[in-house]
A and B are shown apart, each in its own frame.
Chain A
Amino acid sequence: MSAPADVLVVGASAAGLATVEALRRKGYTGRVTVLGAETHLPYDRPPLSKQVLAGDWEPERAQLRQPAALSSLDAEFLLGDPAVGLDATGRSVRTAAGRVLTAEAVVIATGLRPRTLPGQENLAGVHVLRTLDDAVALRADVRSGSRVVVVGDGVLGSEIAATLSAMGARVTLAGPQPAPMAMQFGPLAAGLLARLHTERGVDLRLGTAASGLVGENGRIAGVQLADGDVLPADVVVVAFGAAPVTEWLSGSGLRCDNGVVCDSGCRAADGIYAAGDVARWHHETFDSLLRLENRTNATEQAVAVAGNILGENQPYTPVPYFWTNQFDARIHVHGLLSADAEVSIVDGSPDDRRFVADYRVDGELVGVLGWNMPKQARQRRADIAATPVLVGGKS
């Protein structure tokens, strides 16, 4: 198969940028265009809930590449102009500003949009955290002593709660799980995470879902819980999941079902590929459709997509990986954890807040969690790779 004459990448974040870099690294010399919905040059999202929110970094430090590195890619970046439609047969994308962009290969890397609670857009003081602008706005709204309720006990909500608490806010973390991240981590590691949050002053209000927001004169006043209680709040962060940005693909003929559905080579249709948070592809080792919302997947899938655009025709079969920083805990996860897996400590000790845990299902190693032991956890990664057992995850 010969390389396409031109490539259009829809999405200018980690996956979009990595696609372009991988194309050039692999020697592609054709025309490359990157379309981005936001006005910013490509920036990194993991620091938004950590260093940027905390104020340890100026927002500019989250930029993924220096201008010189970006211009060396010889790609045209069209920013601040979201895609609004795709003609899959003609491989042509319409934009909000009225552009029509056509290319022989199109990469969909439009990422996620946070889920929201009803009415939140009409209330001041209610935030989501997905973009750089979101992080700056949330930071500006929180003062030392502010009563903040974080709705969402997954990785993003837990991380935001930790960061805001360390900044001096009075933080309540609300969500349906028995402990933060319990569905992924299981009782041992999630229990330790709950202890850490409690020790550092976060009020855990778990086991009950939030059902709505309570406003007063156009500003947030509290969060309504399903059990009837109201948690008073000056600021609320809604972080209970996000949905793939695929509305713009309706009518395109592509199959969108919890993401852009792709084959094992991340191909959604002839000449159309998807990478990153938005892509739901067939993982051959797990023999299942999988969609991963993590930073490493964005870049690794982009490398696979770039290769397949150039005719490598390789299946994408990663070992999933993510990390989270909460207070002094640096937690690294390889593979797919499951709350009901059999967990054994294989290095260090939970009492020392420094350990590596194996997660096994039916005796097979499905995942490894490192708590302040990143290198030692990574060294066990090779043992997961051959394990064709799918558990948990975000399929």
Chain B
Amino acid sequence: MTPPIWEDSINPNPLKFLDTIDDFKHIVLFYEEPESGRMIQFRFIKNGLSKGQHCIYTTHKDMDIPLIENEMTNSDIDVEGYKKTNLLHICQIPDPRSFREGSVKGYDKFVKGILADLKHPSIFRIVSRAIPEVNREEQIVDELDVERTYHSTFDSFGGSLLCSYSVEEIEPRNRGKWIVELLQNHHSAIFLRKSGDGIAFNLE
């Protein structure tokens, strides 16, 4: 049952893991420091761009797009170049909880709208999360609804999706339970510590 320590098939280094991960994966990222979280997000985007994939980075209204672009540039992503070739898209999306038909349908509408705008649809990557804040129970419950829905139909999604969570911003009373449910609804997980290092693995 215990894996041998010499086994090479597991590479838990998050960056190396991202460099070798297959397409069409639903990945969850847990981080303690936003900077290290963004390092992983941008690496995911950069790897997709270098493969010629459409890469979409969504933010909520409290995030400044020029700031993100600047950080991407600092991470060696040719933001202007990829925007010109229409491969990189940084979009602000509203909170789907305000959508009359519910968070799941609301979020799906935004995502489908973004994908419909791609001029030459191919394999794509998205860094996104539906609900802007998950520090209250009703928020994380809605977020999990979206995650479950996407994961259960992921075969028809057509791309890869990286969902990021600051661990300390997850509802604290049942934080362990929410993390377990998030893990159950993704193919792979990446955990980043305050120190910046971390581990990554496939869940199945």
Do these two chains interact?
no
